[in-house]
Amino acid sequence: MKKSMFKTGRSVFLLTFALFLCLMAVGCGFNKKGEKEKMEYTICDETKIPDELRDIIEEKKAGVFKLSYVNNDAMYIAVGYGAHNRQNLSVIVDDVYKTDNAIYVDTNLYTTDEIDVAGSASGGDAIRAGEPSMYPYVVIKCDKYDLPVVFDVD
């Protein structure tokens, strides 16, 4: 009798362990972003934003927003940081790249003092976007892709 309970317990343990290994293998596969490919993009000033997108931003600018907009010509990625009680804020685009699965956008919000002191708040290829504002946002224009956009917004 003890021998069969031991076999049952061992079988349950082995099945649980095998299930755990399968879940780990599947989970690790989903986290792979693939090869990073730098993207060509430009920061749009207000005159270069399509009218429809400008209207959407105007409606949303009081709150935090992240959106992508596609027209016949290009893809536009917009990130807004909502209303603030001061005007010395700017958005920095730290990185924009794509993988096989998605487009990744990394932006941060800084005061103009932080940017001026550090030279470039985040170093590297960071790009300052637009004039300081109470409603800081950035619009990035790039080629059209049929990929979702993943935002890394601090």
Q: Is the pLDDT of residue 14 over 60?
A: no
Mean pLDDT of the chain: 79
C-alpha–C-alpha distance, residues 147 and 124, integer Å: 26
Asked if pLDDT for residue 123 goes beyond 50, the answer is no
- In whole angstroms, what is the distance from residue 129 CA to residue 140 CA? 9
Higher-confidence residue: 33 or 98? 98
pLDDT band at 124 (very low <50, low <70, confident <90, very high): very low
Per-residue pLDDT, 87: 80
Rounded Cα distance, 129 and 148, in Å: 22
Q: What is the pLDDT of residues 92-107, one digit of tens each?
A: 999 999 999 999 999 9
C-alpha span between 90 and 72 (Å, rounded): 29
State residue 46's pLDDT score. Answer: 87
Q: In the predicted model, is pLDDT for residue 121 greater than 50?
A: no
Q: What's the pLDDT at 99?
A: 94
Task: Please say if the pLDDT value at position 113 is more than 90.
Answer: no
Q: Is there a contact between 96 and 138 (Cβ–Cβ < 8 Å)?
A: no
**Identity at 59, one-letter amino acid code:** E
* 34 or 136, greater pLDDT: 136
Percent of the chain exceeding pLDDT 70 equals 66
Q: Give the tens place of pLDDT for each residue, 37-90.
A: 999 999 998 899 999 999 999 999 999 999 999 999 899 999 999 999 888 888
